[in-house]
């Protein structure tokens, strides 16, 4: 049984989540409830759950404080939030799971299923570090779900991303390739726009790895490793503007 703790300041939300877990998620044992940061920390330290459903907004702080204050982070966490834009990008970067309120039972089943499949893949402390950096707009690393488990990757090591049906291939500076089970558009949304640019329906490139641009109807990019990437005509203008912005920021940085 998966020892599960629910931390939420609203009694109704606690009860609803408990019922959904009982009805739709097998192998779950709810061992306790907490309603704020203080009681949440105490409950985690005392009950030692395997899985914690953690509300972000609480009267005496937020869910992130709970994670900062607990003695050991040897559990998995699923954040719950009523705000669909609150820290979502940071969650995606750190491979931490979240559910939007009101919680949909199918999404809840998926979250529990991911826990069962991946809870041993990566230490929570590593995820939390990436999360905190991302919350502070310091997007330095991203955690990618691959067929061999979760991988922590530095953004400045990613040369380009290429669409492969419903997957995305990440081409890294060390010549390795990671296949990730997400579509390219999901990474276009979260990777920093000052660093990555979508130049084609199949290609998202790290601007710092561009060696040359060859003019044409759309044109082609030559990367530092010699690989050429096509630029679509519809994305050419935006790409050239982004390239100019990067060159301008680098020039100003040297002054």
Lowest mean pLDDT among 104-108, 133-137, 168-172, 227-231: 133-137
3-state secondary structure of 225: coil
The pLDDT score that the predictor gives to residue 252 is 63
Distance separating alpha carbons of residues 123 and 45, to the nearest angstrom: 18
How far, rounded to the nearest angstrom, does the alpha carbon of residue 92 sit from its chain's CA centroid? 2
The residue assigned the tokens 């380009």 is: 160
Lowest mean pLDDT among 24-28, 111-115, 171-175: 111-115
Q: How many domains does the chain have?
A: 2
Q: Is the pLDDT of residue 166 over 90?
A: yes
Q: Is residue 219 part of a domain?
A: yes
Mark whether 25 and 87 lie in a shared domain. Answer: yes
What is the pLDDT of the chain when averaged over all its residues? 90
In a domain, 140, yes or no: no
Between 139 and 29, the higher pLDDT residue? 29
Identify whether residues 199 and 97 lie together within a single domain: no
Q: Residue 83: which pLDDT band, with cuts at 50, 70 and 90?
A: confident
Same domain, 89 and 196: no
Cα gap 110→105, rounded to integer Å: 9
Least confident of 16-20, 196-200, 241-245: 241-245
**CB distance 232 to 198 below 8 Å:** no
Q: Identify the band that residue 128 occupies on the pLDDT scale cut at 50, 70 and 90.
A: confident
Q: Say what the pTM is.
A: 0.75
Q: What is the pLDDT of residue 233?
A: 95
State which residues form the domain around 224. Answer: 154-254
Boundary residue ending a domain (134, 168, 187): 134
Mean pLDDT along residues 81-100: 78
Clarify whether residues 201 and 81 are in a common domain. Answer: no
> Any idea what the CATH number is for the domain that residue 227 is in?
2.40.50.1020
**Token pair of 149 as six digits:** 């488990």
Is 255 a residue whose pLDDT tops 60? no
125 in a domain, yes or no? yes
Find the Cα–Cα–Cα–Cα dihedral 221, 206, 194, 231, rounded to 10°: 30
Task: Provide the CATH number for the domain around residue 67.
Answer: 3.40.50.2300
Distance separating alpha carbons of residues 125 and 74, to the nearest angstrom? 9
């Amino acid at each position: 049984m998966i020892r599960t703790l629910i931390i939420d300041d609203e009694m109704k939300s606690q009860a609803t989540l408990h019922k959904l877990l009982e009805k739709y998620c097998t192998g779950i044992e709810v061992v306790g409830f907490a309603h704020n940061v203080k009681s949440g920390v105490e409950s985690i330290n005392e009950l030692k759950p395997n899985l914690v459903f953690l509300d972000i907004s609480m009267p005496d702080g937020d869910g992130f404080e709970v994670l900062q204050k607990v003695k050991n982070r040897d559990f998995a966490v699923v954040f719950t939030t009523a705000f669909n834009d609150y820290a979502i990008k940071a969650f995606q970067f750190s491979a931490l799971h979240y559910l939007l309120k009101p919680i949909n039972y199918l999404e809840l089943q998926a979250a529990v299923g991911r826990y069962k499949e991946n809870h041993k893949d990566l230490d929570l402390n590593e995820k939390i570090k990436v999360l905190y950096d991302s919350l502070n707009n310091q997007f330095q690393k991203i955690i990618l779900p691959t067929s061999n488990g979760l991988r922590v990757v530095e953004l400045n090591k990613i040369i380009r991303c290429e669409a492969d049906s419903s997957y995305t291939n990440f081409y890294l500076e060390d010549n390795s390739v990671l296949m990730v089970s997400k579509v390219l558009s999901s990474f276009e949304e979260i990777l920093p726009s000052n660093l990555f640019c979508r130049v084609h329906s199949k290609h998202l490139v790290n601007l710092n790895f561009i060696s040359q641009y060859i003019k044409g109807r759309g044109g082609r990019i030559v990367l530092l490793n010699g690989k050429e990437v096509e630029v679509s005509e519809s994305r050419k203008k935006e790409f050239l503007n982004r390239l100019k912005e990067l060159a301008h920021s680098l020039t100003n940085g040297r002054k």
